[in-house]
Chain A
Amino acid sequence: MEYQFQLVTQLKEALGDGVIQHHEKTQNPNEICLTVKPTDIRKLAEFLKQSKNFKFMMDIASVHYPEREKSLEAVYQFFNLDQNKRVRVKIPHREGEKIQSITPVYRAANWFEREAFDMMGIQFEGHPNLTRILCHHQFKGHALRKDYPARGNQVCNTPEPFTFPPLAMDPEDDIVTTQRMTINLGPSHPATHGTFRWFCELEGETITRAKTEIGYLHRCFEKMCETHKYNQIIPYTDRLNYCSAPMNNSGFCRAVEQLLGIEVPERAQYIRVILNELSRVIDHFVCIGTTAVDMGALSTFWYCFKQRENVYTLFEKLCGNRMLTSITRVGGVFGDLDDNWKRECLAVVKGIRETVDEVDGLLSNNKIWLNRMRDTGVVSAEAAIDYGYTGPCLRASGVAYDIRKLEPYWFYDTFDFEVPTQKEGDNFARYKQRIDEQRQSLRIVEQALAKIPNGPTQVNDPLIVLPPKHEVYSNIEALMNHFMLIINGVKPPKGDIYSYTEAANGELGFYIVSDGTGYPYRVKVRAPCFPIYSSFEEVVQGGLIADAVATLGQMNVIAGELDR
């Protein structure tokens, strides 16, 4: 805790005594939690970024405590990559009080602040465009307030109109050469893979201004979390990033387990590693395959989806569902893999490795692919960090940030794998990064299959996991435990936690506030593609509209995770 106390002392010296109202430890030894006033946050953020190297602004969560005098709370997460330190800043404030916006300091804050405004009604002073982001434009009220009913549907009868503000034009300019065209793409457009809508202002085929609109798949994950018990939330987490469902499951369960202070059995950790790495591989396959379709390379898509089917068959054998597996439980995993499954998995891994080589061979030296992907959608390392990029997109810009290496969980430190990085930060680098990561993930799967120990797959605690079915039917104690757990749910102690895992798109964070009951008080997901997509408007500016499609594909924005 040495560093944390030093930090608090330095903050007090630099910003004055009254700024840090309160500081405390958290479950994470690398983290410290500070409480500040709404008017001090920009000063603090500037100091953290410039003097203390906290280059990343990871998340802004918001919590509503109707019974408190300061009923709203904004919770910031700052991250220092060089020293692996985190700072959580809480700003409790009254209704109507304004928080200083930190958008001038961190560009990542732009969308996070809009989200906090939309969901909770927190006002940010100095934000360039504080409008709704997830709910539709005719929505009244703030959905995540405790007094807003979960079923309070409000009908939207027209899509939001949008026009770019007119440019100041010289009246003597030739109308033909200066005329711009505005086009609308989406929300149902083949290149947007779902539900994104963007407007571009074009000069010829070059994008001069772009604007994105999200929220078309906002299906209220966070509100649903507040009305369900911890284990009931697991199926909802599947549907965040539906291309790699087991990673969301296990990320959420890890957060609750950390809140409970339990460690899951070794075998369960190995199963999670195997499932996670297989999902990482197929997530990257979907990303590469669909981008290739958009670029006109249909055969690559068939190659990628063939292997994806094989992995889904494996998942179906183990979990019962192809896509949305829900196999993880708080306290371990449900079900177990046998030798037969292991053999089949090894065969699939072998097949995938061949397919990765094939895809690499089809695309990496393909002239059309190179022309389309090289030097398009370039993001420099500084911009990537400022926007809060994580995962493959950040590593493609040359920053080797991988939670599996930096803060290993589930025996990731015992596996022999590398964190590949690229330098260029363009679409081709992102594609290449994904191919390299797939190879590393396959190595991890093989090692995990070889090393997986025998033993239980769930912790032995009747207050956390359900007893086995045969005992429930034959013995009264197990029946009662089953009954109590179903009725009451898992009850973590009071407190809050920000827990993070390396998902396919980057850092998947869960900020959970527990009030000691079976229902979480608040769950906030830090979706990795939310900050990545917030940079889209700027990244595509000045490029061709056809290249914007490639950029969107390689950012791998998944609507379920983006809009929640």
Chain B
Amino acid sequence: MKALSPLEEIPIFTTQIKAFINWTRKNALWPLPFGTACCGIEYMAVVGAHYDVSRFGAEVVRFSPRQSDLLIVAGTITEKMAPVLRNIYEQMPEPKWVLSMGVCASSGGFYRAYHTVQGIESIVPVDIYVPGCPPTPEAVIQGIIRLQEKIQRGDTPQQRLLAKKKAAELTAGDQVKDPIE
């Protein structure tokens, strides 16, 4: 057999480095399950053997905000819990995303009441809303896939913010060029 040169052996794709970075980011989401209520139990089923979210590269559940980049808010957020949620979001390293699982997290759901936050968008920025009470595991997986599409496009507020910061640095006359962003 004819020995191949290294270039012939490895198929080569050309792409933008930005797209490559986004591709790696979207396939290695490390979720932090902020499970407070019924949706938290249903999220266990998402991770469980039957639905197995690891097929979509989002199974490395981390309970430390320092180690995660996807905050899954699964369950009702009460006024008492709100400062805690904000605190945890701020502890996560950038870029980070938020998936709001279920109607309670998205809008307060049918708890139109004195101790329930009427939607977590008043506390943290949300990238994907998954409706349902609780959403089926399939719906959660679909939400994760949609989020991955957004990350691939570089279309999430976090990524836009990072790009903006970078652009501001460049226009300020900073000559150091970072090839990644």
Cβ-based interface call for A195 (8 A): yes
Contact string against A for B residues 35-47, beta-carbon threshold 8 Å, 1 for contact and 0 otherwise: 1111011101100
Cβ-based interface call for B18 (8 A): no
Number of B residues near A (Cβ < 8 Å) is 38
Cβ-based interface call for A286 (8 A): yes
Do B42 and A323 touch across chains, with their CB atoms under 8 A apart?
yes
Distance in Å from the Cβ of B82 to the closest Cβ of chain A? Answer: 6
Do B118 and A286 touch across chains, with their CB atoms under 8 A apart?
no
Do A217 and B111 touch across chains, with their CB atoms under 8 A apart?
no
Which B residues are in CB contact (< 8 Å) with A217?
36-37, 75-76, 78, 81
Q: A219-B76, A219-B111, A235-B110 are in contact. Are A187 and B84 (CB under 8 A)?
A: yes
Partner of B37, one of A156, A159, A290, A560: A560
Do A223 and B36 touch across chains, with their CB atoms under 8 A apart?
no
Do B115 and A219 touch across chains, with their CB atoms under 8 A apart?
yes
Do A220 and B45 touch across chains, with their CB atoms under 8 A apart?
no
Q: How far is the CA of A148 from the CA of B114 in the complex (A)?
A: 9
Q: A219-B78, A306-B49 are in contact. Are A153 and B114 (CB under 8 A)?
A: yes
Which B residues are in CB contact (< 8 Å) with A216?
36, 78, 80-81, 84
Cβ-based interface call for B79 (8 A): yes
Which A residues are in CB contact (< 8 Å) with B104?
219
Partner of B115, one of A143, A235, A322: A143
Q: A217-B78, A219-B116 are in contact. Are A323 and B38 (CB under 8 A)?
A: yes
Residues of A79-114 contacting chain B, CB below 8 A = none
Do A187 and B81 touch across chains, with their CB atoms under 8 A apart?
yes
Q: What interface size band does chain A fall in?
A: 35 or more
Which B residues are in CB contact (< 8 Å) with A322?
42, 136
Cβ-based interface call for A177 (8 A): no
Distance in Å from the Cβ of B157 to the closest Cβ of chain A? Answer: 23
Cβ-based interface call for A224 (8 A): yes
Which A residues are in CB contact (< 8 Å) with B136?
322
Residues of A213-230 contacting chain B, CB below 8 A = 215-220, 223-224
Distance in Å from the Cβ of B166 to the closest Cβ of chain A? Answer: 32
Do B38 and A156 touch across chains, with their CB atoms under 8 A apart?
no
Distance in Å from the Cβ of A415 to the closest Cβ of chain B? Answer: 29
- What's the count of A-B pairs with C-beta under 8 Å? 131
Partner of B80, one of A135, A189, A224, A306: A135
Cβ-based interface call for B113 (8 A): yes
Do B111 and A224 touch across chains, with their CB atoms under 8 A apart?
yes
Distance in Å from the Cβ of B63 to the closest Cβ of chain A? Answer: 4
Cβ-based interface call for B34 (8 A): yes
Partner of B113, one of A136, A151, A305, A306: A151
Q: A286-B41, A305-B45, A560-B37 are in contact. Are A195 and B81 (CB under 8 A)?
A: yes
Which B residues are in CB contact (< 8 Å) with A135?
80, 115
Q: A306-B50, A323-B41, A560-B38 are in contact. Are A158 and B83 (CB under 8 A)?
A: yes
Cβ-based interface call for A150 (8 A): yes
Cβ-based interface call for A188 (8 A): yes
Which B residues are in CB contact (< 8 Å) with A224?
110-113
Cβ-based interface call for A190 (8 A): yes
Distance in Å from the Cβ of B137 to the closest Cβ of chain A? Answer: 9
Q: How far is the CA of A305 from the CA of B49 in the complex (A)?
A: 8
Cβ-based interface call for A166 (8 A): no
Q: How far is the CA of A306 from the CA of B76 in the complex (A)?
A: 26
Which A residues are in CB contact (< 8 Å) with B115?
134-136, 139, 143, 153, 218-220
Cβ-based interface call for A169 (8 A): no
Cβ-based interface call for B31 (8 A): no
Residues of B23-68 contacting chain A, CB below 8 A = 34-38, 40-42, 44-45, 48-50, 63
Cβ-based interface call for B134 (8 A): yes
Which B residues are in CB contact (< 8 Å) with A157?
83
Distance in Å from the Cβ of A350 to the closest Cβ of chain B? Answer: 19
Do A236 and B79 touch across chains, with their CB atoms under 8 A apart?
no
Q: A215-B80, A216-B78, A309-B50 are in contact. Are A194 and B36 (CB under 8 A)?
A: yes
Distance in Å from the Cβ of A453 to the closest Cβ of chain B? Answer: 33
Do A194 and B134 touch across chains, with their CB atoms under 8 A apart?
no
Distance in Å from the Cβ of A1 to the closest Cβ of chain B? Answer: 41
Cβ-based interface call for A171 (8 A): no
Do A239 and B38 touch across chains, with their CB atoms under 8 A apart?
yes
Cβ-based interface call for A243 (8 A): yes
Q: A157-B83, A159-B83 are in contact. Are A150 and B38 (CB under 8 A)?
A: no
Cβ-based interface call for A455 (8 A): no
Q: How far is the CA of A157 from the CA of B76 in the complex (A)?
A: 17
Which A residues are in CB contact (< 8 Å) with B112?
150-151, 224
Distance in Å from the Cβ of A253 to the closest Cβ of chain B? Answer: 19
Partner of B41, one of A149, A235, A236, A242: A242
Residues of A173-207 contacting chain B, CB below 8 A = 187-190, 193-195
Which A residues are in CB contact (< 8 Å) with B63?
188-190
Cβ-based interface call for A259 (8 A): no
Chain B residues packing against A (C-beta within 8 Å): 34-38, 40-42, 44-45, 48-50, 63, 75-76, 78-84, 87-88, 104, 110-118, 133-134, 136
| Selected A-B contacts with CB under 8 Å, 24 pairs | A134-B115, A135-B80, A154-B114, A156-B80, A158-B83, A159-B83, A187-B84, A188-B63, A193-B35, A194-B40, A216-B36, A216-B81, A216-B84, A217-B75, A217-B81, A218-B115, A219-B115, A220-B114, A220-B116, A242-B41, A243-B41, A305-B50, A306-B49, A323-B134
Q: A188-B84, A220-B115, A306-B49 are in contact. List 18 more A-B contacts (CB 8 A).
A: A135-B115, A136-B79, A153-B114, A153-B116, A159-B87, A188-B63, A194-B40, A195-B37, A218-B78, A218-B115, A219-B37, A219-B115, A220-B111, A224-B113, A242-B37, A242-B38, A323-B41, A323-B134
Nearest 10 CB-CB pairs, A to B?
A220-B113, A242-B38, A136-B80, A190-B63, A305-B48, A219-B111, A156-B79, A152-B114, A309-B50, A216-B81
